[in-house]
Amino acid sequence: MKIGLFIPCYVNQFYPEVGKATLQLLQKYGEVGYPSGQTCCGQPMANAGCENEGVDALKVFYQQFKDFDYIVAPSASCILHIREHGGKLYKEMKPILHKVLDLTEFLFDVVKEDQLQASFPHKVAIHKSCHGLRGMRLGQCSERVTCDVSKQDELIKQVEGITLIQPQRADECCGFGGTFSVSQPDVSVRMGNDRINDYIQSGAEYITSGDMSCLMHLDGIIQRKKLNIKVIHLAEILAAQLSETPKQTEEHVNAV
Amino acid sequence: MSTQYKTHQEGAKQFNKNPDRVTWHDKALWFVREKRDKSAHSIPEWEELREIASQIKAHSLSNLNGYLMQFEEKAKANGVHVHWAKDAQEHNEIVHSILSKHEVKNVVKSKSMLTEECGLNPYLNDKGIEVVDTDLGERIVQLANEHPSHIVLPAIHKKKEEVGELFHKHLNTEKGASDPTYLTGAAREHLREKFLNADAAITGINFAIAETGGFVVCTNEGNVDMGANLAPVHIACMGIEKLIPKVEHLGVFLRLLARSATGQAITTYSSHFHKPADGKELHIVLVDNGRTEQLGREDFRKSLNCIRCGACMNTCPIYRRSGGHSYTYTIPGPIGAILSPGKDLKKHSSLPFASTLCGSCSDVCPVKIDIHTQLYKWRQLVMKETNYDKSKQIGMKFAGKAMGSPTLFNLIGKMGNIFLKGPRALIYNGLNAWGIDRELPVPTETFDDWYKQNGKKNEQ
Q: Taking CB atoms and an 8 Å limit, are B447 and A194 in contact across chains? A: no
pLDDT confidence band for B455 (50 / 70 / 90): confident
Q: Which of B36, B403, B420, B446 to mutate to test the interface with A (most CBs of A within 10 A)?
A: B403
Is the separation of the CB atoms in A69 and A2 below 8 Å?
yes
Which residues lie across from B132 on neighbouring strands?
Answer: B108
- Of the given ranges (B175-184, B220-229, B421-430), which has the lowest mean pLDDT? B421-430
State the Cα–Cα distance between residues A79 and A103, nearest whole angstrom.
10
Q: Taking CB atoms and an 8 Å limit, are B392 and A13 in contact across chains? A: no
Within an 8 Å CB–CB cutoff, is residue B346 touching chain A? no
State the Cα–Cα distance between residues B102 and B199, nearest whole angstrom.
8
For residues B138-158, average pLDDT: 97
pLDDT value at residue B443: 87
Question: Nearest CB to B446: which of A16, A192, A220?
Answer: A16
Single-letter residue type at B95: V
Is the separation of the CB atoms in B231 and B114 below 8 Å?
no
pLDDT value at residue A241: 78
Is the separation of the CB atoms in B139 and B189 below 8 Å?
no
pLDDT value at residue B444: 87
Query: For the segment B186-232, what is each residue's pLDDT rounded down to a tens digit?
Result: 999 999 999 999 999 999 999 999 999 999 999 999 999 999 999 99
Query: For the segment B316-348, what is each residue's pLDDT rounded down to a tens digit?
Result: 999 999 999 999 999 999 999 999 999 999 999
pLDDT confidence band for B49 (50 / 70 / 90): very high
- What are the average pLDDT values for consecutive 10-residue runs of chain A, which has 256 residues? 97 96 97 96 96 97 98 98 98 98 98 95 98 97 96 97 97 97 97 98 98 98 98 97 48 38
Predicted complex ipTM: 0.95
pLDDT value at residue B272: 97
Number of neighbouring beta carbons within 10 Å of residue A111:
17
Question: Nearest CB to B16: which of A23, A186, A219?
Answer: A186
Q: Which residues of A touch B353 (CB under 8 A)?
A: 49, 179-180, 183-184
For residues B66-75, average pLDDT: 98
pLDDT confidence band for B430 (50 / 70 / 90): confident
Q: Taking CB atoms and an 8 Å limit, are B409 and A182 in contact across chains? A: no
Q: Taking CB atoms and an 8 Å limit, are B359 and A130 in contact across chains? A: yes
Beta strands in B55-98 (DSSP E): 81-85
**Angle, alpha carbons B288-B294-B300 (nearest 5°):** 150
Residues 6+ apart with CB under 8 A from A28: A249, A252, A253, A256
For residue B230, the surrounding DSSP H or E stretch is: helix B223-230
pLDDT value at residue A246: 42
Q: Taking CB atoms and an 8 Å limit, are A134 and B360 in contact across chains? A: yes
* Closest chain B CA to residue A143: B364
Residues 6+ apart with CB under 8 A from A100: A6, A65, A71, A73, A79, A82, A83, A86
Q: Taking CB atoms and an 8 Å limit, are B12 and A130 in contact across chains? A: no
B contact residues 405-424, partner A, Cβ 8 Å cutoff:
405-406, 409, 413, 416-417
Please write down the HEC assignment for all residues of B148-189: CCCCCCCCCCCCHHHHHHHHHHHHCCCCCCCCHHHHHHHHHH
Q: Taking CB atoms and an 8 Å limit, are A13 and B451 in contact across chains? A: no
pLDDT value at residue B160: 96
Select from A107, A127, A105 the least CA-distant residue to A25: A107
Select from A61, A111, A36, A200 the least CA-distant residue to B455: A36
Single-letter residue type at B252: V
Number of neighbouring beta carbons within 10 Å of residue A123:
15
Is the separation of the CB atoms in A237 and A118 below 8 Å?
yes
Query: Average pLDDT over chain B, rounded to whole?
Result: 96
pLDDT value at residue B456: 64
For residues B349-373, average pLDDT: 98
Within an 8 Å CB–CB cutoff, is residue B444 touching chain A? yes
Query: For the segment B80-116, what is each residue's pLDDT rounded down to a tens digit?
Result: 999 999 999 999 999 999 999 999 999 999 979 999 9
pLDDT value at residue A242: 56
Query: Average pLDDT over chain A, rounded to whole?
Result: 94
For residues B29-41, average pLDDT: 98
Please write down the HEC assignment for all residues of A128-182: CCHHHHHHCCCCCCCCCCCCCCCHHHHHHCCCECCEEECCCCCCCCCCCCCCHHH
